[in-house]
Chain A
Amino acid sequence: MKNIRRWGPGLLLVSPSIILITIFVYGLIGWNVKVSLSNWRQAQPTSHYSGIGAYQDLNHDAAFRQSLAHLLVFTIVFALGTLIIGWTLALLLDKGVKGEGFFRAVFLFPMAISFIAAGIVWRWLMNPAPGNRATGLNVIFDKLGLHALANQWYLDSNPVIGGIRSWGMAAMAMPAIWALSGYVMALYLAGFRGVPEELREAARMDGASELRVYRHVVFPHLKPVTLAALIIIGHISIKIFDLMVAIGGKQGFNTQTPAVYMWIQIYDRSDFAKGAAIATLLLLLISVLVIPYLIYTVRSERRS
């Protein structure tokens, strides 16, 4: 208490945030876990503890497993797409180009558009109507003579590999990639620019070509950036809901992710415990992604 003058004011300043986060984030997470362990499986609220029944139900639930498969396909295509496109755009901008500010802004703008608005436009573009009823991208492909490219987009339910469905989820990754590659580009641009010019100069003086300078000097510095980008893209992907509902509709099974399935369990099925169980599982999934990263960041900061 002697040094309260030192840390008192700081604590007072931060205390509203601490209180609000404790109640509305951690308190509600705790309540959610409590609901998932209760017997609230119908429209009337009840709150008796009933064990892990909801989790066991999910274990046997083929539809939930299917939504996880959808999520896997979506996440992989989404992550690879944004990383590759973001990285390429950052590479192109790194050299410095006239109007770089303009290009940066243009590439970053899609991130500011809500997934609902973007989803509706992409739904028009990805309209799966075939043949003479085609609109959107399909009709553009037809007019250009690229008939083979016209396809069912988000309604394609063919499995990608083995039993994991579906190609439709790979198509759903397109609007997401469009929205977020600008953000990944910004991350990589900062990464590129973070490489000290002296290192590049030194490499050039040693006779390395520009390509080699990039390969051996710049790219190794990008590992932490790639990791950060993967974490962020991964956690956005796990939570994805509004894009799926905007394009495939709530009842569209081919584009159903765990978050959409959770919504259906709570509002249509009135199975609140099961919905809460799905929410808890999603939280665990994201924690698996984020917590090791946080530990790694803290450790590397301590080292430096």
Chain B
Amino acid sequence: MSDETMKHREVRIPRAVKRGAVLLGLVVLSLAVALSITGCGSKKKNSSATTSAAGKCQLQVFSWWTGGGEAAGLAKLITDWNTTSSLGGGSPACQFKNETVAGGAGSNAKAVLAQRLVAKKPPDSFQGHAGKELLDYIKAGQIEPINFIYKAGGFENAMAPQLIKQITYKGNLYSVPVNIHRANILWFNPKVLKAAGITIAAGAPLTWDQFISDLNAIKSKQPNVTPLSLGEAWTQKNLLETVIIGVVGPDGWASLFTKSGDWSSAGVTTALDRFKTLLTYTNSDASSLTWQDAGKLVVDGKAAFNLMGDWQEGYFGGKKSAGNLGMKSGVDYSWTAMADNNGVFDWLSDSFTLPKGAPHRDAAVKWLTFLGSLKAQDTFNPVKGSIPARTDANAALYDTYLKWSLKQWKTDKLACSLAHGCIASNAWNADVDTALGQFMQSKDVAAFQKALAAAAKKNA
């Protein structure tokens, strides 16, 4: 067939339509290109606006202090910062920009922070637990050494030597610790215990056997009360570490996290069996409760015991107006060291860092110097429910529990916490989380121990 016939048979696209299609294609293409270019451009404009405009300085501080005493303590520090002329209140003013992400133990905050650091958009300072948790940031070159801040503030003379030793990495210090918390405290409701015929004096030593018999007494005499209230995954890990510390002791605990640590030992097996026993006394809906929910059960009389760090003190005893429970120490709640943990201070420390490329570095340095000062630490800690990292605290400012804790800090042996990023890196913690999650499903102690040993081999 000739070309002419072919042309007549096929549908001919009118010239106008062809032109229209070409035009449309060009318009769409140029729109796509233009949008992608302006997208990049506008981002650059925004970032320069926050940094270069004179006087519009904002100190971006990233933390996970969103609840209870933590938020209240931070609020006081913010007020101090904003109103003191030598800090953020002077001119040019650098007001505090509170960037918090909720989620106990910073489980959500760390993910958000990681993204910002990789995107090279760090805050001016961020909260991190003193110890191995900062190792990832140090190795990635994301935070600056701040030995000069310690020198200027005279901190090395004011803080406990064990603490300084733990947070020094290759001769450099990378964060200013604001407080010391203790993670192995057993909180209980004296009224609930009394109804089951148990009395425990505040701070009195408790052996494992005594603890189990107390739990049994609660179980039999008060069937509507949960003997040991428990919360979500990280609180379960917190409970686990205190049980292991109770069996292997602080030195054994420290050695477990070295290259020669033996997680397959009989001591660990005993500890894991004890942990399994404890779980039989806990509430079945643990994984759906936050640490505050689990703690509140004790104060409400719905649970007898709860193992939690001493930020629980800020939540139990703090003012109701700040979202706390406003309870009376010794009457509505009391405490002691976890069973077999007497004389061992399972410590962790909230500290702040200086990220590389902080948008307002001068203000950030001032912030860190302020945090290490006696004034800041004695303002923050009584409200937060922790003791200062400095050793020259004014004990009169602290409540009953904290006075006890201050005393213990001076005499107890120290065990660096696992659940709070002191003794192990984030990666190791994630592996422990996975192993613990599987154990909570299967309750298989042997498999759990194997998984913990594998995690140690991988990460030590």
Contact = CB atoms under 8 A, between A and B. Distances in A.
A143 interface: no
B438 A62 contact: yes
A250 B441 CA distance: 16
Contacts of A66: 438, 441
B18 A43 contact: no
Contacts of A71: none
A265 B433 CA distance: 11
Contact of B437 (A10, A256, A265, A271): A256
Interface in B17-62: 18, 21-22, 24-26, 28-29, 32
Interface stretch (B178-186, B283-291, B315-323): B283-291
Contacts of A131: 224
A120 to B, nearest CB: 12
Interface residues of B, number: 45
B212 interface: no
Interface string B201-228: 0000000000000000000000010000
B427 A270 contact: yes
Contacts of A59: none
Contacts of A20: 32
Given A66-B441, A270-B427, A155 B25 contact: no
A51 interface: no
B22 A155 contact: no
Given A128-B285, A249-B232, A267-B114, A13 B426 contact: no
A137 to B, nearest CB: 13
A62 B435 CA distance: 9
A265 B430 CA distance: 8
A8 B284 CA distance: 66
A198 to B, nearest CB: 33
Interface in A1-54: 5-6, 8-13, 15-16, 19-20, 42-44
Contacts of A251: 107, 232-234, 433, 437
Contact of A253 (B21, B110, B288, B434): B434
A63 interface: yes
A154 B224 CA distance: 23
Interface string B81-115: 00000000000000000000000000110110010
B224 A152 contact: no
B139 interface: yes
A23 to B, nearest CB: 11
A12 B288 contact: no
Contacts of A62: 438, 447, 451
Contact of B441 (A12, A165, A268, A270): A165
A6 B287 CA distance: 63
B136 interface: yes
Given A256-B437, A268-B433, A42 B427 contact: yes
Interface in B233-291: 233-234, 283-285, 287-288
Contacts of B111: 267-268
A167 to B, nearest CB: 11
A249 B111 CA distance: 14
Nearest to A255: B287
A9 B19 CA distance: 8
B434 A252 contact: no
B445 interface: no
Nearest to B30: A16
What size tier do the contact residues of chain A reach?
Answer: 35 or more
B140 A249 contact: no
| B25, B107, B302 — most chain A CB neighbours (10 Å) | B25
B13 interface: yes
B440 interface: yes
Given A43-B136, A249-B232, A12 B21 contact: yes
Contact of B25 (A6, A9, A252, A267): A9
A155 B21 contact: no
B332 interface: no
Contacts of B139: 43-44
B447 A63 contact: no
Interface in B400-452: 426-427, 429-431, 433-438, 440-442, 447, 451
A234 interface: no
A271 B232 CA distance: 24
A268 B440 CA distance: 20
Nearest to A154: B288
Contacts of B28: 13, 16
Contacts of B302: 132-133
Contacts of A249: 232-233, 287
Nearest to A63: B434
Given A251-B107, A251-B437, A268 B288 contact: no
A268 B18 CA distance: 55
Contacts of B29: 12, 15-16
Contacts of A166: 441
B439 to A, nearest CB: 9
B437 A63 contact: yes
A194 interface: no
A44 B22 CA distance: 47
A140 interface: no
Contact of A13 (B25, B224, B233): B25
A12 B26 CA distance: 7
Contacts of A270: 136, 426-427
Nearest to A250: B107
Nearest to B115: A267
Given A152-B285, A155-B287, A248-B287, A268 B430 contact: yes
Given A267-B111, A268-B433, A155 B285 contact: yes
5 contacts: A127-B288, A157-B442, A256-B437, A265-B430, A267-B114
The 3 closest A-B pairs by CB, nearest first: A253-B437, A12-B25, A9-B21
Given A44-B140, A157-B441, A249-B287, 4 more contacts: A13-B28, A249-B233, A253-B434, A265-B430
